[in-house]
Structure 1
Amino acid sequence: MPRLGTATAWRDAARCLVHVAPSDIDWGWQDAPTPMFDEPLPPARDLTVPKAFAALSRLLMAERSGQGFATAHTLLHRLQADRGLLSRRADPDVSRAERIAKEIRRDLHKMHAFVRFREVGDQSQRRRFAAWFEPTHRIEESVADFFVNRFGDMDWAIITPEVTTTYADGKLSQEAVPSTRPDDGDALEELWTTYYSNIFNPARLKVDAMTAEMPKKYWKNLPEARVIPGLIAGARAQVSAMQAAPARPARPRIVEAPFAPQTLGEACAAARACTACPLHCNATRTVWGEGPADADIMIVGEQPGDTEDLAGRPFVGPAGQMFDQSAAVAGLDRGACYVTNAVKHFKFVQKGKRRIHQRPARSEVEACLPWLMQELTLVQPNVVVAMGATALHALTGSGTGLLKRRGHWEETRDGRPLLITVHPSFLLRLPDAQQRAAEIQAFQNDLRQVAGLPK
């Protein structure tokens, strides 16, 4: 098999040899000694294989000794009569293939983690970087796309003892040439070594775990490896000094508003420029609350959904329609309520053309809390309704035990009466029609508690 283009060459040969007994074939690399007997290949045959085999065989092609070629062919030969072979993990051939594939995956992971680039060339030219790495297996072709995707905005070369991979002007190329390790360093390595030394935590040092994940065979290519022995040697003394130092009191967490707006309009305008958490990067816009500025009741949900993000208004999507219907049954006038969300930006994961809702993280809820507190301050509602765990966390500091707390009254962070209930989206997700009907009834009963309060 050739050093580059290995997977394609093996596939073409395997189509010719699929019905030849594995014991009659001698697989090897082109740079290995030529065998004494070398017969021409029979004609190629059309064949189909399970998807699992296609992925597995690509990994096996990188095995250094050539055993991966033979193992892949053995599986291919047997798959012609036994299509379910790969599902039997205890089969000796399948087990051998999985063991080799695991070794290859580990080697790929190590190359992903331990390649270190150095700047090469003078500053008058486009900046270029180079790295040296010594993989256990022949994984250069398999790993190339990873580095193109990760470092596609710069020119670089990754050199191994057998292959040089180059990415320049947006084009990837590979050449099978012998190389030796360069000895030059650069200023960036010194900066990285200083940074590594400063983030080293002696209290969390576990030498066995560190050397298992970062074997010493890779240390000669890592600039930080120069300081690791010294950091390990001084770890115990550093921990003792940390333990002997007097404890510092924890700083209280104070939620402060970015400024003190006089109206909801001013607060809304300021919120449009909020960058306190990463959600603003992907959301279409800030979705502010709406309703009477002096509403007696404030309804707080989780976050805007896809429909709300596009429309710029809260509670207009499917969950909002469920709320409107239940509020009407319960005798609660939505038009008289101020409706808003604990988080003002839509958090989602893109899947094809769809944007799939994701629950906000605690840090994102806390980042958005000043805006919610401003709404409470400006509207001054007599009663607040928390719909869902995220709203409950924002308003009380804890969103745990929602179903045990629903239907009960508590207080907001600023001391207002708070009714706890589920979010309408919870009702929409229930698959059982009978259970959904019961939960909708319970939700309407929760809202009746608010609708029946004196104004």
Structure 2
Amino acid sequence: MHVARLEAEDDFAGWRDAARRFLNAAVPPAQIAWRVDGDGSGDLFPSSPIPCSDTESQVRVPRALLSLLRVALLHHDPGRFALAYRLLWRLRTTPTLHANPADRDMIAINAMAKSVRRDMHKMHAFVRFRKIGSAGGREQFAAWFEPEHHITRAVAGFFRDRFAGMDWIIVTPEATIAWDGAALTTGPGGTRADVPDSDTIEDEWRAYYSSIFNPARVKVAAMKKEMPVKYWRNLPEAMLFQPLLRAAGARVEAMVKRARDEDRLPIAEESAPAGRFETLAALNAAIVRDDVPPSPDFSDRIVVGEGPASARLMFVGEQPGDVEDVEGRPFVGPAGQLLDRCLSTAGVDRSGAYLTNAVKRFKFSERGKRRLHQTPNAGDIAHYRWWLDEEIRLVDPAVVVALGATAVHALTGRKQALAPLRDGPLPLGERRMIVTVHPSFLLRLPDEQARGIERERFVRDLAAARQLAEEWGVTPPGLAATVTHATIPPA
């Protein structure tokens, strides 16, 4: 009996080298016992060392099978090494064994690989980092996870690439992996006590999760299948699941009622005076003087647009925020400050552009001393659409940038998804429209890398709008840009 000793449960290289030597020496599977150092298993019979042979085996292992074994040998089944070697041994007489989906050994090894891949996917999805501090200008995070199989070191590269901008450590019972911005290191396993139970940003994450939870799309069985209950204890939002699920029925009924109420809104009853205006100053004075909020949920302050009356580039957002309502100017809060930075990166001079909102008042609900943003409904948008159309007529921009879904709704008269509209300029009467996200969307993204990717795309949209506005005065309007979508009716 030969004993092959491996350094760790995921020691694929050690298994491969031992298997090659056994094949060269023509040692059958029944004469090999596979052991992992430190696994506590003893040897009941005397063993001989792995034989050496000058004769190289004629077995040629297909690359696809070797890749499959590399994954399958991360399984927790202690018989996996023997199974894998038996497959190699059988290749001596059946070279096409790996291509037989009905072979019992291939069925077993494929099932192991499938289970390992699923475990990797779960670890990718359900690791939750807790902030533990900062050092050298980099934030530091830690996470605890309990994988089903021996996958910890195998997924280290994924987390390095996914979270390269921060220092992190992931602790599992079997191994620890860590990244410091320069090197990926591994170490012995630990316990849950090695990682904090919570951090300062989790309350914000739970508030965000509650706000995006859609009860109408909840399927509990599918949810538990894709997010097994055993992982819930690692998720900061897990404490919200049961309360949110219990309230789902009532929330769906409220959503249906709200949709029906919106359908009954008198969309044609826009807030519009009898005549047109000659200047922006006159228009703004009139709306401040005459407008009545469409519901009691709105602030009593109108926030008018800002910028040159002849700007070639106009930005239309959703509505003023809390800061904008206090200061009486558009885009001066956190989202506006981010917009300023992105405009600068895109080469757009804010002072030369006109910035306004589709809805002219801040719609909110009170939570203690805080005023929480409420999304305008179709009636709110219709109420202010006449005023927005007048702003566009008086400023007469070459390009209008729609920042978010509410702006698109106000400019086109109907709800539309943003993603299909972001490929290029769109017709807006005699003008062109660029559709992009609202900068507040970037602020809501919880993941740093996702924020970076979306911000770059947002800057590209702004730069495209700038270039289109610059070309407008040189190229005839009909040739200024190729219209890639024509699904939006003229406003």
Contact 1:116 1:131 in 2 (8 A): yes
When normalised by structure 2's length, the TM-score is 0.54
Distance 2:234 2:204 in 1: 16
1:317-367: per-residue Cα shift (whole Å, max 9, x none)?
Answer: xxxxxxxxxxxxxxxxxxxxxxxxxxxxxxxxxxxxxxxxxxxx7313464
Candidates 64, 70, 75, aligned match of 1:63: 75
1:86 aligns with 2:98: yes
Distance 2:137 2:63 in 1: 46
The CA deviation at 1:3 is 2.1
1:42 aligns with 2:51: yes
1:132-155: per-residue Cα shift (whole Å, max 9, x none)?
Answer: 000001101211110011112211
- Aligned residue type for 2:41: P
The CA deviation at 1:103 is 0.3
The range that moved more, 150-159 or 61-70, is: 61-70
1:166 aligns with 2:174: no
- Alignment-derived partner of residue 444 in structure 1: none
Contact 2:7 2:36 in 1 (8 A): yes
Distance 1:101 1:149 in 2: 23
1:361-381: per-residue Cα shift (whole Å, max 9, x none)?
Answer: 731346454565888997376
Candidates 188, 206, 209, aligned match of 1:193: 206
Distance 1:26 1:189 in 2: 48
The CA deviation at 1:175 is 1.5
The CA deviation at 1:397 is 2.5
The CA deviation at 1:124 is 8.4
The CA deviation at 1:16 is 1.3
- Alignment-derived partner of residue 3 in structure 1: 8
Structure 1 gaps of 5+ residues are: 253-257, 268-275, 284-360, 399-411, 415-455
The CA deviation at 1:197 is 1.3
1:184-224: per-residue Cα shift (whole Å, max 9, x none)?
Answer: 31112222112111111111111000000000011111111
- Aligned residue type for 1:74: R
Change (3 A) 1:71 1:201: same
Distance 2:309 2:52 in 1: 81
Contact 1:60 1:69 in 2 (8 A): no
- Aligned residue type for 1:40: P
Distance 1:164 1:62 in 2: 16
The CA deviation at 1:178 is 4.3
When normalised by structure 1's length, the TM-score is 0.58
Change (3 A) 1:107 1:380: closer
- Alignment-derived partner of residue 274 in structure 2: none
Contact 1:29 1:66 in 2 (8 A): no
Matches within 5 A, 1:21-420: 21-30=28-37, 31-37=39-45, 38-43=47-52, 45=56, 48-121=60-133, 126-181=138-193, 182=195, 184-245=197-258, 246-248=260-262, 362-365=420-423, 367-369=425-427, 379=476, 394=485, 396-397=486-487
Change (3 A) 1:367 1:207: farther
SS in 2 for 1:170: coil
- Alignment-derived partner of residue 16 in structure 1: 21
How many residues in Structure 1 have an aligned counterpart in Structure 2? 304
SS in 1 for 2:223: helix
Distance 1:77 1:227 in 2: 53
- Alignment-derived partner of residue 347 in structure 1: none
Change (3 A) 1:194 1:33: same
Change (3 A) 1:5 1:107: closer
Change (3 A) 1:260 1:11: farther
The range that moved more, 234-243 or 140-149, is: 234-243
SS in 1 for 2:168: strand
- Aligned residue type for 1:20: V
Contact 2:175 2:187 in 1 (8 A): yes
The CA deviation at 1:93 is 0.9
- Aligned residue type for 1:187: T
The CA deviation at 1:169 is 4.2
- Aligned residue type for 2:261: A
- Aligned residue type for 2:40: A
Give the share of equivalent positions with the same residue, in percent. Answer: 38
Distance 2:65 2:206 in 1: 43
- Alignment-derived partner of residue 408 in structure 2: none
The CA deviation at 1:126 is 4.7
Structure 2 gaps of 5+ residues are: 1-5, 269-306, 314-338, 347-418, 434-468
Change (3 A) 1:36 1:248: same
Distance 1:413 1:127 in 2: 48
The CA deviation at 1:5 is 6.0
- Aligned residue type for 1:364: R
Distance 1:161 1:364 in 2: 46
